[in-house]
Amino acid sequence: MKNKLIILLCIFTLIYAVIPRAYAADIPPYLMEEDTYEYPDEAVNVFSPRIIETMAGADSFVNKVATTSDFDVPCKAAFLIEEQSGQRLYEKNADMQLPMASITKVMTMLLVIEAVESGKITMNDTVPVTEHAYSMGGSQIWLEPGEIFTVHEMLKAVAVSSANDAAVALAEYVGGSEDSFCSMMNNRAAQLGMTGTHFVNACGLDAPGHFSTASDIAIMATELMKHPVIFEYTTIWTDYLRGGETQLANTNKLLRSYNGTTGLKTGTTSGAGVCICATAKRDNMSLIAVVLGSDSSGERFSAARKLLDFGFSNFETKDFPAVPDLPDSIPVRLGEEKRVKIQCDLPQKLLFVKGAGTQLSYKLDIPHRLPAPVFKGMKSGTLSLYSGQGKIATYDIIISADVKKLDFRKALSILTKKVGTM
C-alpha cells in the first residue's frame, strides 16, 4: 500500500511539473512581443511629501504637474493623467515626437469600435485577408490570403496579441484600404486635438512620418476608454482562434502583476524602443500612464508601475458639485434670436491629495441678458469653484452659436409676420 502511495505521489508530481511547461511550450513565439522579460514584484514606491506640496494648491486641490526634477522613470518620454478629471500628474518630454510602435493600434481600435457603434459594421461581419495584410511583419497571427475572421476575432487578435496583420485587415475593411484608413486616423487625431501625431500605417511598424507624443497618446487612450467594450478585449490574458489551434497571449504583463490593470496597449520596435500605454482603475480613480522609448521590457513595466503607484498612492478623486442653476441658454437683446445656447465644460471629477477633507461650493457669474451680436466661442460668464480656503478653479461659460443683431429690415419682417397672424 505504501509503495502504491509513493508511486501515485510521483505521478502527480510529474504531472504538476511537466504539464505547465508543455502548455507554455504550445504558445507560438511569434504571438509574443520580442522582449518578454518577467520582472520581479516591486514594492510600492514611496514619494517625498515635497512632491505633493508642489503639486497641490488650496485645500489639497491638485493643479500642478510633477516632472523629472521630482522623480525620473527609465524611458525617453512619459506622461501620467487621471482619466475623468483630465488632470496631468507627471510628464517627461511629454510633447516630444517619437515613434510609438504598436501603441498606434489604440487609434486603430478606436476607429473600429466607432464604426461598430455607428452601425457601419458589426462585430459579426467577416473580414477577408488580403495579400497586403498577409505581408505584414512583426507580431502577427499568420493570416493567410483568403482566410476569413470576424471583426470580433480580429479585434481580439489586435488587443491581446498585438497582431499587425489583423490590424491591417481591419483597417482595410473599415477604410477600404490602409491608406484611406490612415487618412481617417489623422482626421480623428486632428478632431481630438492631437497636434503632435501623424499616422502612415495602422499597425505601428517603423516608418518615416509615423510618430506621436506621450501627451497625444493619453488623449486617444482617453477617447478609446469612453467605449467600455474595449476592456472586454484588453483584459483578456489568454484566448484562442482557429478553433483552438492558435493561442493568443496578452503582451501586457501588468494584467497579471498590477492590481486594477485594465489595458491598454504595448509596443516594441527597433525604432521606437519598448513602449506601453498602461491603464488601471482602483476605487473610483482611473489612470493612464504612457511610457515611450524604454530600453527593455523590464524598464517599460517598471516605469509604468512607478507612474501608476505615484497616482494611486497620493491622490483621490471627488465628484464635481452638482450645478442645477446653470441655464442652458440666456436671453439676447435686439438679436435675431431671442436666446442663445451656452456651455461650460466642467470635469466629472476633481483631483485632490489623498485624505483631503475638502468641502466644495461654487458661484455663477452670468449676465441676465447679452446685447447682440454674440459669437460662437465668446466668453459670457464664469463658474468659480471654492473650497474652505477660497477659490480653487474657474471655468469659462461659452456662447455656443452666433446671433446677429436685429436690423431694421429684419425687425420689419418679424413685425409684419406677427401682424399677419393676428
Confidence grade of residue 261 (pLDDT, cut at 50, 70, 90): very high
* pLDDT (tens digit per residue) in 181-218: 999 999 999 999 999 999 999 999 999 999 999 999 99
- Given a cut of 50, is residue 12 above it in pLDDT? no
Which three cell numbers, joined as nine digits, stand for 390?
Answer: 477660497
Q: Between the CA of residue 209 and those of 137, 171, 251, what are the distances in Å?
A: 19, 19, 26
CATH topology agreement for domains 27-41+48-315 and 329-408: no
Question: Can you give the residue ranges of every domain in the chain?
Answer: 27-41+48-315, 329-408
Q: Which CATH class is domain 27-41+48-315?
A: alpha beta
- The set of residues, in sequence order, having a beta carbon less than 8 Å from that of 151 and lying 6+ positions away, is 112, 116, 121, 122, 123, 124, 125, 127, 170, 173
Give dist(CA 372, CA 406) in Å, integer: 8
Number of residues that this document lists for the chain:
422
- Residues designated as active site: 102, 105, 162
Give dist(CA 254, CA 117) in Å, integer: 29
Average pLDDT, the chain: 87
Q: Does domain 329-408 have CATH number 2.40.10.220?
A: no
- Given a cut of 50, is residue 9 above it in pLDDT? no
Instruction: Report angle CA 195, 279, 355 to the nearest 5 degrees.
Output: 105
- Given a cut of 60, is residue 7 above it in pLDDT? no
| Residue 191 β-bridge partners | none
* pLDDT (tens digit per residue) in 38-67: 444 444 555 667 777 778 876 788 989 999
Confidence grade of residue 418 (pLDDT, cut at 50, 70, 90): low
* pLDDT (tens digit per residue) in 141-190: 999 999 999 999 999 999 999 999 999 999 999 999 999 999 999 999 99
pLDDT more than 70, % of the chain: 85
